[in-house]
Amino acid sequence: MKRIGILTSGGDAPGMNAAVRAVTRVAIANGLEVFGIRYGFAGLVAGDIFPLESEDVAHLINVSGTFLYTARYPEFAEEEGQKAGIAQLKKHGIDAVVVIGGDGSYHGALQLTRHGFNSIGLPGTIDNDIPYTDATIGYDTACMTAMDAIDKIRDTASSHHRVFIVNVMGRNCGDIAMRVGVACGADAIVIPEKPYDVEEIANRLKQAQERGKDHGLVVVAEGVMTADQFMAELKKYGDFDVRANVLGHMQRGGTPTVSDRVLASKLGSAAVHLLLEGKGGLAVGVENGKVTSHDILDLFDESHKGDYDLLKLNEDLSR
Ligand code: F6P
């Protein structure tokens, strides 16, 4: 193996640049040539491929987004898209690829490996919905950003004795909601993976008001329903002064946290070392603090399990 390609795919996540930097630097240090592929699998198919030198990834470890740009490209699930991508890899003499992204990206990495181009998947998504890793690249920063925003919402909520329903991202995963909810002292956290009772949440908010609490906060994961929809549900059970707020895409920006930068660096380095060992079709993660790798097929069989104890903890803390 002489040349590796690297791409970012799916929704961007803070720390993706740090991962690209790590892959590039470790690969060059081990005598490999590195090629950046812009716009994920769409750019691969279009041949948007360029050589990357060590200095090209300078001043990026602290920058969010992805300087390789990204795209969602479902067409790569089709044989035709894969063949076009492989033709581009051959044209540029690229033997192996590191793919940084969410679960869609792993499907692409697996297909490339099946076609003879060893590929390694790195978990790059704010959602934290990938199995076999304690965290995904971007999750910690997204939580920090959401926490910071909710702290600000709390200022105004307290001044007006209002209840705020705040939607956080996560697709079908409630991890951002749980972690941020605990960190912000939410009265309730509502996630797609677990049942909830709006009447019970309304009663809890009323009890908090009776105790003299000057604000209410319900963190609702976007995979459950919108903040507006939840607000409408809540109003059925009480005359609350309530506002709905959707944090949205701001959760994908902001300076990557130390955890995300270090995680991205570790995973990027591990990906190159696996490729150097001639391995492909693997997903790299960190489990109990140690870098591990698993067959990508195992990831499809397994579903991510969140730290649902946080819900009970939050209930105890919000009484
Ligand atoms: O997967 C990351 C994510 O930000 C999800 O949390 C969210 O549901 C989705 O992407 C939004 O996608 P888009 O950027 O295409 O609107």
DSSP secondary structure of 125-141? -TT---SS-S--BTHHH
Q: How does pLDDT run along the chain (319 residues), one tens digit per residue?
A: 999 999 999 999 999 999 999 999 999 999 999 999 999 999 999 999 999 999 999 999 999 999 999 999 999 999 999 999 999 999 999 999 999 999 889 999 999 999 999 999 999 999 999 999 999 999 999 999 999 999 999 999 999 999 999 999 999 999 999 999 999 999 999 999 999 999 999 999 999 999 999 999 999 999 999 999 999 999 999 999 999 999 999 999 999 999 999 999 999 999 999 999 999 999 999 999 999 999 999 999 999 999 999 999 999 999 8
Pocket test for ligand 1, best of 12, 39, 127, 129 (most atoms within 8 A of CB): 127
Contacts of residue 305, defined as CB under 8 A and 6 or more positions apart, other chains included, come to: 131
**Whats the size of the chain, residue-wise?**
319
Residue pLDDT, tens place only, 252-307? 999 999 999 999 999 999 999 999 999 999 999 999 999 999 999 999 999 999 99
**Would you say 17 and 265 are in contact if contact means Cβ atoms under 8 Å apart?**
no
How far is 228 from 188, CA to CA, in rounded Å? 16
Q: Is the CB of 11 under 6 A from ligand 1?
A: yes
Please check if 102 is assigned to a binding site: yes
Please check if 22 is assigned to a binding site: yes
Q: Is the CB of 129 under 6 A from ligand 1?
A: no
Q: Is the CB of 170 under 6 A from ligand 1?
A: yes
Mean pLDDT of the chain, nearest integer:
97
Q: Is the CB of 102 under 6 A from ligand 1?
A: yes
Contacts of residue 31, defined as CB under 8 A and 6 or more positions apart, other chains included, come to: none
Please check if 103 is assigned to a binding site: yes
82 conformational bin, left if phi > 0, alpha if psi -120 to 50, beta if neither? alpha
Burial readout 58-87 (b: 16 or more C-beta within 10 A, e: otherwise): eebbebbbbbbbbbbbeebeeeebbebbbe
Token pair for 246: 């959707």
Tell which atom from ligand 1 comes closest to the C-alpha of 10: 1
What was the ipTM of the complex prediction?
A: 0.98
How far is 154 from 162, CA to CA, in rounded Å? 9
